[in-house]
A and B are shown apart, each in its own frame.
Chain A
Amino acid sequence: MTDQTGNRLPVADRAAVMRAVGRLVARDKAAFAAVIALYVAAAGAGAALPVMLGEVVDGIGSGWTAARVDLACGVIVGCVVVQLVLMRIGRLLGYRFGERAAARLRESFIDRVLRLPLGTVERAGTGDLSTRTAGDVSAVAELLRKTGPEVTVAMIEVVVITAAAFVVSPVLGPLFLIGSPALVLTTRWYMRRAGPAFLAERAAMGEIAETLTASAAGARTVAAYRMQDERGRAGYEGAGTHRRRLWRIIRLQFWFKPGIDLTFLVPAMVVTMFGGYLYLQGWVSVGEVVAVAMLTLRLDGPVLRSMMAMTEFQMGGAALARVEGVHLIPDEERFAAPAGAEVRLDNVTFGYGDGPDVLHGLSLHPRRGERLVVVGPSGAGKSTIARLVAGIERPRTGSVTLGGAATADIELEDLRRKVVLVTQEHYVFTATLRDNLNLAAPEATDEQLEAALKTVDARWAADLPEGLETMLGEEHRELYLAEAQQLALARVILADPDVVILDEATAGIDPGSAGNVEAALAAALEGRTVIAIAHQLQAAEAADRIAVVDEGRIAEEGSHTELLAAGGAYAELWRAWRGVPARGQLSLYQGTYPDWRRKIP
């Protein structure tokens, strides 16, 4: 379900982002205020250096004694020591503030994402969500703990140094700002272009990573089909695109960087020249000129550092907008409380999005504790039934209820305790086997976990080197399809709900052992309502009842024996599937098969 065009998850606008930042600051007001105060004090102590130098220069001119010089210079050294302490504490508190804010932000983000309406996520495409959960969250953390403090410190330093220049000499101070308009203009010009240019460059890197990763992951396929040339070409194309985008950045910076240099070199020059003239006129002292000229040199560091961090700052802001965006998605309102656990589908029509109806007035009433198998061709609507009963989708007309309440309205926690859906989609979390298992049953003991694994015939689990503590996932112990499905089934046993929906849940398990697993599972789920959806038929024979779905309707319903006797679609399917009879001569089924699949027009 990837939708490339519309339905993206929302992105927060500037005001919402500012509010989010405001909330983070408000949660930690005292720390934030302390950090800012320390930064200002440290910058002040740093700016005192050139100022004191000016004093000393004037002092020498007016005949200070060595003792006066020692005193003034002692004050300078003292300022530096104070600066060291203030800077260290300020940075430390600043980093801690950033870490706390980042942790809060990502936790509330994850909390929200986990409770998003599934339909919304699927319509947006999982790519959108994974960009936000993986890339954006860490980009925002970088912003809060690194780039943010960096830019803040630099800004404060610039302001304090400028203020110091005005304090030293109200006449020379304004000269200090002579480069500012140029700086503001070049920065604006640059920022408008740099953001997109850097994003494009990153995108090119992403493409390269995807291409090379695919080439490595598909190395066997590349070898089998001799695709070396075309994969090589794809790699070179990616590199070429990257080259072009890097060149764009080089061109941009070619004009921007000297612009920054000039913004403090020009004031330094003007202060020196004009200061000389003013000194001759008797308006300022030598010391004042020296102090202001040296202050301009101190601007170099903070201006350069903040400009370097600007593009990252900008991209961090964009990431924050996407992270905050998920909070704009309205909550699902689910308040209904089921009485009992009886499942009913009455006269249901349903279609995805604006698409055509997939189900046409379908009714199905699984009895409590019954094992109902739903069979039928791909595309008949079997999985849709599963999604309706699990409360993921809402019918267009008709009703899907659990204990009398519409499944799509039942509060999620409550619904999950009663209904569990296992699909053919296998996903193993990058976590230990224990964490993978006890998602649905956090309190389960080791014995229970092991018993559940045993029930689903997961013998491999017993052979794991670190038992339940073994890390699973792509970079650790990768599971085969069958193993992943056994894991999913073990979770169901642990969750122990009233209603279990198995949507092709054993499709990847060897047909031979799948039968055993199903049987074991049936025993473990004794007394629960089980709705099993299958295109292979091994589960059908043992079922209490079989429903054959075709074209969004129930075509046949009954027990295995009844349906065989009826000689309809099911009987034909069964004969085809079963093939070699158990006794005597071979009489293979050679007839024509019901052709359920749409042909190429």
Chain B
Amino acid sequence: MPTRPTGMIWWIVRPQLKRFVLGVLIFIGMSAVWMSLPAIVAEIIDSVTETRSLNEALPWLVALMACTVVGPLLFITGYRILFVAESRARVRIVELMSDHLERVGTGVRSKVSAGEMVNLSTDDNRKAAQLLFELGFGAFNAAAFGYGVFMLWRIDWFLGLATGVGMFLIGTCIGPVLERLHRRQTAYRAQTAEVTGQAADIAGGLRILRGIGGESQFERRYAEASLLLRDTGYRLGRADSWLRGIEGSLPFALAAAVTWLAARQAVQGNLTVGEVTAVFGYNMLLANFLGFVVGIAKNWIEAMVSARRLSSFFATRDPLPAEGAGIGRGALVDPLTGLVVEEGSGLTVVVSDDGDAAKAALARIAFRSDSEATWGETRLRDLDRGVIRDRVLLLEEDYLFRETLRGSLRADDDEAALTALRTASAEDVYTSLGSDLDAVVDDAGRNLSGGQRQRLRLARALAAEPEYLLAAEATSAVDAPTEARIAQGVSEARRGRTTVVISSSPLWLTRSDRVVWFDGGKVRAAGTVAELAENPEFRTLTSRAG
């Protein structure tokens, strides 16, 4: 995968190379048709004024008609080919992004924010792929420029030279303006993102604002950002209006100057009236094309930025070491804290003064992060990761994707799905969705309440029937009677396998086969709940007497 923006662009262009070349060739042919127009018109004018009849001009009139038909046809054919190449590239980039996400797993999580992910898959993708078209169109303009200067040269070498040099000077003049415009645009875009971000907060935060009456303050802050955006826009407008003025005028000034030279020649009888017209016509067309070239240059700058962002996305790597081959057997051990989870040991409740330390220990033995954790005697990193994932499941604040309730639960059949819901006391998830397993759970479970999401996650974990279920967040958002039912259901449903729950709730402790007590980030003691309850410190930690 390329890591430099130019490499990225080549990587996008390469699979479409045949199409691209064909499109460019057609566009070059089209430029010849376009640039013939002034010459044909000149021939018609000269022959009509000299012979005072249309007969001599007839072949040129036919040529003019042919150009009128062929020009647009060539354009649309080339346009279509390049647009298809661009579209294919866009679709391909999405597919490769999807593949990459699959490959690097959790690697992108900390590196790429949600907002960036949206930009990468839409705007950046489009801008980078658009280069296929832009480059093709650029080739058209370059060819038209060369052809135009050549035709002028044939009329009068000095006129050709003057046009060529003039266009080149205008180009160098536009360069710095373009650069300044780009800087202003970047600033403008950043401020737009800021204002949009603030506005986006309303949808999520309106209820909060209503609750505490923060509307006026919010509005004041928004108005400030909005005015700042306006002022940034003013500055952008300054740069942009210069560019528009220059690209809309300088080429025409050149056209006027070159026509002036031609007219003086005509007065002396060196050029015909038709040739003066042709000189003017070429310059007009080139002036129009210069506007296109500026557009291409702008898009090129943006495409490079996008290509750079895409290449850094594709440069993300899987944080876990390469996969091993072995299959684990025995207990899961985290040497760092001394946590040992035996195979088939029923329900273990982890009581911890610091929830995060216990969670991190579970993440290590579930091989979510690289560590010295072992399965039996073998380190997890030397084992087949697929086997670990199949047999050890860490339940945390898992993501709920947009799919049907049945799909969310991933159970073997409907009976198993409903059983899992029942065990997790998540019947209300089912009923609130119209008692239909085909009802859709929104992205991130947005159509469920926080408590419902938590219980649905638990149900999904139960339905997966892993040998080891390590639950970091099981029942923090449910009420006491429900928690009691869940504790009872889970301990019965998973009898004979291994379940670990982090909780200091007596409702879980009563159901536990074994209790592990974390203190100061390390395992302090392990045993049955009755054994540990001998210790007054432990009793204080688990008793809720306020």
B155 lies within 8 A of chain A by Cβ: no
Cβ B505 vs Cβ A579 within 8 A: yes
Cβ A250 vs Cβ B83 within 8 A: yes
For residue A336, which residues in chain B have a CB less than 8 angstroms away from its CB?
Answer: none
Measured CA separation A57–B281 after assembly (Å): 13
Interface size class, chain A: 35 or more
B355 lies within 8 A of chain A by Cβ: yes
Cβ B226 vs Cβ A595 within 8 A: no
B375 lies within 8 A of chain A by Cβ: no
A5 lies within 8 A of chain B by Cβ: no
A229 to chain B, nearest CB (A): 8
B434 lies within 8 A of chain A by Cβ: no
Measured CA separation A92–B402 after assembly (Å): 47
Measured CA separation A126–B447 after assembly (Å): 11
For residue A415, which residues in chain B have a CB less than 8 angstroms away from its CB?
Answer: 213
Cβ A236 vs Cβ B211 within 8 A: no
B348 to chain A, nearest CB (A): 17
The residue that B280 contacts in the complex, of A134, A141, A294, with Cβ under 8 A, is A294
Cβ A145 vs Cβ B233 within 8 A: yes
Measured CA separation A103–B204 after assembly (Å): 22
Cβ A378 vs Cβ B479 within 8 A: yes
Cβ B49 vs Cβ A239 within 8 A: no
Cβ A212 vs Cβ B97 within 8 A: yes
For residue A2, which residues in chain B have a CB less than 8 angstroms away from its CB?
Answer: 442, 446-447
B408-435 near A? 1/0 per residue, CB < 8 Å:
0010000000100110010110110001
Measured CA separation A79–B211 after assembly (Å): 63
A362 to chain B, nearest CB (A): 20
Q: Which residues of B193-211 have CB atoms within 8 Å of chain A's CB atoms?
A: 195-211
For residue A89, which residues in chain B have a CB less than 8 angstroms away from its CB?
Answer: 241
Interface secondary structure of A, over-half rule:
helix
B141 lies within 8 A of chain A by Cβ: no
B451 lies within 8 A of chain A by Cβ: yes
| Given A220-B396, A488-B208, A578-B506: A273 and B117 interface contact (C-beta under 8 Å) | no
Q: Which residues of B52-68 have CB atoms within 8 Å of chain A's CB atoms?
A: 52-54, 57, 61, 64-65, 67-68
| Given A60-B267, A216-B101: A580 and B542 interface contact (C-beta under 8 Å) | yes
The residue that B117 contacts in the complex, of A83, A212, A537, A600, with Cβ under 8 A, is A212
Measured CA separation A279–B422 after assembly (Å): 93
Measured CA separation A430–B386 after assembly (Å): 38
The residue that B79 contacts in the complex, of A42, A253, A280, A377, with Cβ under 8 A, is A253
Q: Which residue of chain B has the shortest Cβ distance to A432 in the bound complex?
A: B221
Q: Which residues of B491-527 have CB atoms within 8 Å of chain A's CB atoms?
A: 504-507, 509-510
Cβ B45 vs Cβ A220 within 8 A: no
B298 lies within 8 A of chain A by Cβ: no
The interface stretch among B107-115, B144-152, B327-335 is: B107-115
B430-458 near A? 1/0 per residue, CB < 8 Å:
11000100000011101100110000000
Cβ B52 vs Cβ A216 within 8 A: no
| Given A223-B389, A226-B389: A429 and B509 interface contact (C-beta under 8 Å) | no
The residue that A111 contacts in the complex, of B45, B80, B219, B393, with Cβ under 8 A, is B219
Q: Which residues of B263-298 have CB atoms within 8 Å of chain A's CB atoms?
A: 263-264, 266-268, 273, 276-277, 280-281, 284-285, 288, 291
B253 lies within 8 A of chain A by Cβ: yes
Measured CA separation A580–B214 after assembly (Å): 43
A539-582 near B? 1/0 per residue, CB < 8 Å:
00110000000000000000000000000000001001111111
A392 to chain B, nearest CB (A): 7
For residue A440, which residues in chain B have a CB less than 8 angstroms away from its CB?
Answer: 212-214, 217
| Given A110-B199, A297-B285: A442 and B443 interface contact (C-beta under 8 Å) | no
The interface stretch among B4-12, B164-172, B244-252 is: B244-252
| Given A129-B203, A219-B101, A280-B52: A576 and B480 interface contact (C-beta under 8 Å) | yes
The residue that B273 contacts in the complex, of A61, A294, A474, with Cβ under 8 A, is A61
B44 lies within 8 A of chain A by Cβ: yes
Cβ A247 vs Cβ B87 within 8 A: yes
The interface stretch among A401-409, A455-463, A510-518 is: A510-518
Cβ A242 vs Cβ B543 within 8 A: no
B186 lies within 8 A of chain A by Cβ: no
Cβ B245 vs Cβ A87 within 8 A: yes
Measured CA separation A390–B210 after assembly (Å): 9
B139 lies within 8 A of chain A by Cβ: no
Measured CA separation A511–B447 after assembly (Å): 27
Measured CA separation A514–B519 after assembly (Å): 19
For residue B95, which residues in chain A have a CB less than 8 angstroms away from its CB?
Answer: 235-236, 239
A435 lies within 8 A of chain B by Cβ: yes
Cβ B479 vs Cβ A589 within 8 A: no
For residue B484, which residues in chain A have a CB less than 8 angstroms away from its CB?
Answer: 576, 593
Measured CA separation A586–B542 after assembly (Å): 12
B231 to chain A, nearest CB (A): 8
The interface stretch among B19-27, B254-262, B299-307, B336-344 is: B254-262
Cβ B206 vs Cβ A121 within 8 A: yes
A123 to chain B, nearest CB (A): 13
Cβ B428 vs Cβ A597 within 8 A: yes
Cβ A130 vs Cβ B214 within 8 A: no
A475 lies within 8 A of chain B by Cβ: yes
Q: Which residue of chain A has the shortest Cβ distance to B51 in the bound complex?
A: A280
A30 lies within 8 A of chain B by Cβ: no
The interface stretch among A18-26, A158-166, A260-268, A338-346 is: A260-268
Cβ B253 vs Cβ A77 within 8 A: yes
Cβ B44 vs Cβ A214 within 8 A: no
B383 to chain A, nearest CB (A): 15
Cβ A298 vs Cβ B284 within 8 A: yes
A194 lies within 8 A of chain B by Cβ: no
B468 to chain A, nearest CB (A): 12
B377 lies within 8 A of chain A by Cβ: no
Measured CA separation A98–B240 after assembly (Å): 13
| Given A115-B215, A261-B75, A582-B539: A107 and B102 interface contact (C-beta under 8 Å) | no
A7 to chain B, nearest CB (A): 15
B48 lies within 8 A of chain A by Cβ: yes
For residue A412, which residues in chain B have a CB less than 8 angstroms away from its CB?
Answer: 213, 215
A536 lies within 8 A of chain B by Cβ: yes
Cβ B209 vs Cβ A114 within 8 A: yes
The residue that B73 contacts in the complex, of A258, A421, A536, A582, with Cβ under 8 A, is A258
Cβ A73 vs Cβ B94 within 8 A: no
Cβ A126 vs Cβ B204 within 8 A: yes
Cβ B240 vs Cβ A91 within 8 A: yes
B227 lies within 8 A of chain A by Cβ: yes
For residue B253, which residues in chain A have a CB less than 8 angstroms away from its CB?
Answer: 77, 80-81, 84
B485 lies within 8 A of chain A by Cβ: yes
Cβ B443 vs Cβ A210 within 8 A: yes
Cβ A294 vs Cβ B368 within 8 A: no
For residue B205, which residues in chain A have a CB less than 8 angstroms away from its CB?
Answer: 427, 429
Cβ B101 vs Cβ A114 within 8 A: no
Measured CA separation A76–B368 after assembly (Å): 74
For residue A72, which residues in chain B have a CB less than 8 angstroms away from its CB?
Answer: 263
A367 lies within 8 A of chain B by Cβ: no
Q: Which residue of chain A has the shortest Cβ distance to B48 in the bound complex?
A: A276
| Given A91-B241, A106-B199, A134-B196: A300 and B288 interface contact (C-beta under 8 Å) | yes
Given contacts A224-B366, A253-B80, A298-B284, 5 further A-B contacts (CB under 8 A): A49-B256, A102-B230, A106-B199, A214-B399, A586-B533
Nearest 4 A/B pairs, CB to CB: A579-B506, A416-B213, A235-B98, A218-B399
Give me 20 A-to-B residue pairs in the complex whose CB atoms sit less than 8 angstroms apart, sorted by A's number: A66-B264, A66-B268, A80-B256, A94-B241, A110-B199, A205-B126, A209-B117, A223-B106, A225-B393, A243-B91, A254-B80, A257-B72, A257-B76, A258-B75, A261-B71, A413-B216, A423-B211, A429-B198, A439-B214, A475-B115
